[in-house]
Amino acid sequence: MSVKFCSIASGSSGNCIYVATDHTRILIDAGISGKKIEAGLAALSESGEKIDALFITHEHMDHIKGAGIFSRRFDIPIYATMGTWQAMESQLGHIIPQNKRFVYEEEACVINDICVKPFQIPHDAAEPVGYRIETEKTAVAIATDIGHVTETVKENIGGCKLILLEANHDEEMVKKGSYPWHLKQRILGEKGHLSNHTAGALLSEVMSGKTEHVFLGHLSDENNTPHLAFDTVEQVLRENKIQVGTYLKMDLALRHSNSHLVEL
């Protein structure tokens, strides 16, 4: 059984990730318009009617913008933690009761032939989570909006065949940039976002022989560049004797368009 993965959008402008098996298709987050989600799916020869579930990481608008309308248009259940539901429900519009579903940290949620396991992440939101998605033969992790590295994050992304990990910013660009001080503090704080260097160090620590693909996601438009993110993470991996380009492939989750489709 193969697993297909594609980032439809990633960044502060909106996030949406597609994961599918032969029998199940899910989205992680819907932070772009319903129209853009449909366009991203169409590029994969998919459609909203085929999506079985939508999982939300947290209530910030770049993760939920299109969730309500997409759920209503295609009768799709939305899964989120109780804290996230309480924080986002008023922003989604009416969601019918049967499409309002709850997930719980470290408790697997079974959708047909996959298990979706939410895990706690440190971010300035009500009850934010990342997701580890497991099938009989493989595992995929989506981990963005992480203020600092925790043991829980390490445990849940470790051993995955594919990891989408935040590489949000370059610390010096943040410090020297035009953002107001309070926003710089938020980004660099314990509940903000991961830097390029920290992302590389985390990958170096959890990387196992099982990991074949890494996507760097949620890049800042103001405080990062794709080239800098890739080079910084690659350098940290190389310093830890992990070579990109042979067994391990690394790519970027694009801000406004689909990344390339990976089939595991």
Q: What are phi and psi of 66, to 5 degrees?
A: -100, 5
What are the tokens at 90? 């008023």
Q: Secondary structure of the chain: what % helix, strand, coil (to 5)?
A: 30, 25, 45
Measure the CA–CA gap between 12 and 175, rounded to whole angstroms: 19
Tell me, what's the pLDDT at 115?
A: 97
Measure the CA–CA gap between 104 and 248, rounded to whole angstroms: 32
CATH code of the domain containing 186: 3.60.15.10
pLDDT tens for 85-104 read 999 999 999 999 999 999 99
Tell me, what's the pLDDT at 209?
A: 83
Tell me, what's the pLDDT at 100?
A: 98
Measure the CA–CA gap between 77 and 239, rounded to whole angstroms: 44
One-letter-per-residue 3-state SS of 48-69: HHHCCEEECCCCCHHHHCCHHH
Tell me, what's the pLDDT at 247?
A: 86
A 10 A CB-CB count for 101 gives 17
Tell me, what's the pLDDT at 178?
A: 86
Exposure on the CB side of residue 256, measured as CA atoms within 13 A: 1
Tell me, what's the pLDDT at 207?
A: 87
What are the tokens at 189? 């704080």
For the chain, residues with pLDDT lower than 70 are 1
128 CB-near residues (< 8 Å, 6+ apart): 57, 58, 81, 84, 120, 121, 145
pLDDT tens for 24-38 read 999 999 999 999 999
Residue span of the structural domain in which 228 resides? 4-263
Tell me, what's the pLDDT at 241?
A: 93
What are the tokens at 211? 């990991």
User: Domain total for the chain?
Assistant: 1
What are the tokens at 84? 């996230």
